[in-house]
Amino acid sequence: MTLVRKRRLQQALKLCLPPSLPPLDFRHETHPPPSASLSAISPEYHGIEDLSDLEKLAVLGRGNGGTVYKVRHTRTTSIFALKVLRFYHNTTNIRQHAAREAEIFKRVDSPYIVRCYAVFDSEDDLCFVMEHMERGSLHDVLFVNKILPEDVISGVALCVLHGLKYLHRMQIVHGDIKPSNLLINSKGDVKIADFGVSRVVVGKRDAYEAFMGTCAYMSPERFDPEGWDGYNADGFAGDVWSLGVVVLECLVGHYPLIGVGEKPDWATLVCAICFQERLEMPENASPDFRSFVSKCLVKDWSKRGTVDELIDHPFVNRTYLGSHQ
């Protein structure tokens, strides 16, 4: 059993998302990055000594060789998410990626990253005891609501940018930013999850790993490294591209780089991501939105906006003037 180190408990930037997400019922305020502070989470959260301490309550999701359960700590009644990765025959790569994910969780400590409280390793599986994010993922929100108002999208983007800024300063490329990997808790905090294809960058070639991640959200230099100088890319710019796709998806209500109903097979995606010359924006998009997405989705990674540049962009530094509290 390997316990992940204790965490400084911090408060994340909050995005107010009511359960039903009715139109115009949002509030987003621009705040500076939070400093370390005490939280309502009790020290007992770190008292998980064995998997037998956890009672399974429900299945939250399945995929990529693993299952995520909602669990309850029997002694404290605290609720967690338990991510279980199963190892079967010929799963050396899966085990390597799982081990890397566990190592990254040991390194990270940010209010913009889903917390991992403990890791249990055995011959057959690897189990992560995670922070439970009650609202599910951004993918779940979009499935119900189809599109989101720009003020909410702005808040999501700012949270992700803060998370990426932290990761990139730790030399970590996430590699799989997409709606299902952006989780939301009951307070409306948006956090980055799932480091299964992430990597710590030592050199430029370390940043590149072909076709690990979700193809639809890959940048041109990852899809076609020879055509877009991917072997010299630092990897961080690929996370920015993925965020741009997510932001655009939130406003149009579907995967935005291909037409509605078009099959997202490899040939269609490579044409859209690597060769499509003109980026189509929705007519209702504001100038700030257009500017932000355009800076994210520059095909040449060396000219793409950086996290530090985008975190100061007007689109993510709005103050919502509505009266909803």
* Sequence ranges of the binding site for ATP: 83
Q: Where are the beta strands (DSSP E) in 12-65?
A: 54-63
Annotation marks residue 176 as catalytic: yes
Distances (CA, A) of 303 to 109, 222, 223, 237, 239: 30, 15, 17, 9, 14
Residues with Cβ < 8 Å from 258, sequence gap 6 or more? 264, 268, 269, 272
Rounded CA-CA distance 181/195 in Å is: 9
Query: What sections of 180-255 are H helices per DSSP?
Result: 220-223, 236-252
**Coil vs helix vs strand at 166:** helix
Let me know the angle formed at the C-alpha of 315 by 289 and 193, rounded to the nearest 5 degrees: 95
Rounded CA-CA distance 193/186 in Å is: 16
The answer to whether 77 and 54 are in contact (CB under 8 A) is no
Q: Which entry of 176, 194, 234, 239 is annotated as an active-site residue?
A: 176
Two structure tokens written together for 37: 């502070």
Residues with Cβ < 8 Å from 317, sequence gap 6 or more? 30, 158
Rounded CA-CA distance 184/325 in Å is: 19
Rounded CA-CA distance 121/124 in Å is: 8
| Element (DSSP H or E) covering residue 86 | strand 79-86
Q: List binding-site positions.
A: 83
Let me know the angle formed at the C-alpha of 262 by 286 and 271, rounded to the nearest 5 degrees: 80
What residues act catalytically? Answer: 176
